[in-house]
A and B are shown apart, each in its own frame.
Chain A
Amino acid sequence: MVWKASKDPLLRGDHAGGVTPPAPSADNSLVRHILFLGGSGRETPYQSSTESQSVAERFAGKQGCVYEASVKEAKKQGVVHWSRKELLGLLKGPGKGKASWPSVYEVMQARKRVEQHSEHLLDFEQLDVEDVVCVCSTVWSKR
């Protein structure tokens, strides 16, 4: 079954206390975000999500929780949606746009992860930092 933005939710595994809020002004490289470069706790303007319930459950782990968001609601709140297909279009060769990156090897590793996890991103870069927590709680709900 093909995932459709108009009717299927985005899913995210995160801790039970709520989704981790992004930092709109953080480095906006897509490769840095997808490969988790910069170490544990690094800030990012993106939130990773997936089409797959089982992938979200794996990321939630035993003690976490799966959340869902509608693309339509996210866009209404000013959040940009990068679909899996769009990400794969950007993650080719040295990368295009925000996926441009000095190492093509790392662009390929990021591409692999997007495919393996059926990954989509929500991009909070255009939001004011003081709105982020409120928008997150509007966009995401426990599944």
Chain B
Amino acid sequence: MAALTEIAQSSAPVPRHRGRRHRRFPVWRWLILSLAGLYFLTPLYAALKFAGVKAFGQVAHQSGFSSALGLSVRLAVITTVLTLVLMVPTTVYVHLRLPRLRRVLEVVTILPIVIPPIVLIIGVLQVAPASLKATPDLLALEYVILAMPFAYRSIDTGLRALDLRTLFEASSSLGANWLTTLWRVVVPNLRTALLSAIVLTVALVLGEYTMASLDLYQTFPVWIVLFSQDSGPVSTAASLLALFVTWVLLMAIVTVASQSSRRRGGAEVTLFTVGRQETGDSR
């Protein structure tokens, strides 16, 4: 999650055949890679060993599992939709009409990372109306704020790769209004950036614990923590399953997005990376 969207500014093709000098992978790189691998995989291995194979079969049958997972998925859907509906038009408008506000927007969107979630949730609970506090959908509104830094950066990067002004003017000269251009021209060209935003938002919502716990709603991460008091191995198996399923979903999205992007001349989609759209040469 720490890795944010970056832009591959250069559209220069990467040579397929690298020289022998480039193919060599120095020992120190192997060393660093091995250390990093150990650092990340050791806890997973320990968790796997602790849970045991049998625990994986029991996860889905535990009480509260389905409702917790269902709530998390529902929140992920609501958060993603709200985030995109809010952030796409806003970011496009700022790029197009208020480019000077981009710096301000960047600072504003980084605030949810700087401000601890506990501060945010206390503030929200102070001002939220009672009717909203009574529904778990309040969490979705809070997650929109949490997702803002990631969604904004994905969309912003996608927009930087487009000649937005020219696309809008070309569309406008053909008779399209702002919304038509946004829907038919801009959004389809932001497909990769939007997928990055969706991936990041979904991953964030499925893994968020602090806010849900303080709001007293049993989302999937909260259920895992609570259930660990009943059965440590099953709870750990649920964590590993969640991690694995999320990873598989992300890879599936990235693979499909890459294929779709390549068909339209866009860059390959790696997690949180958007490439500049290719354009024709001067011939």
Partners in one complex: no
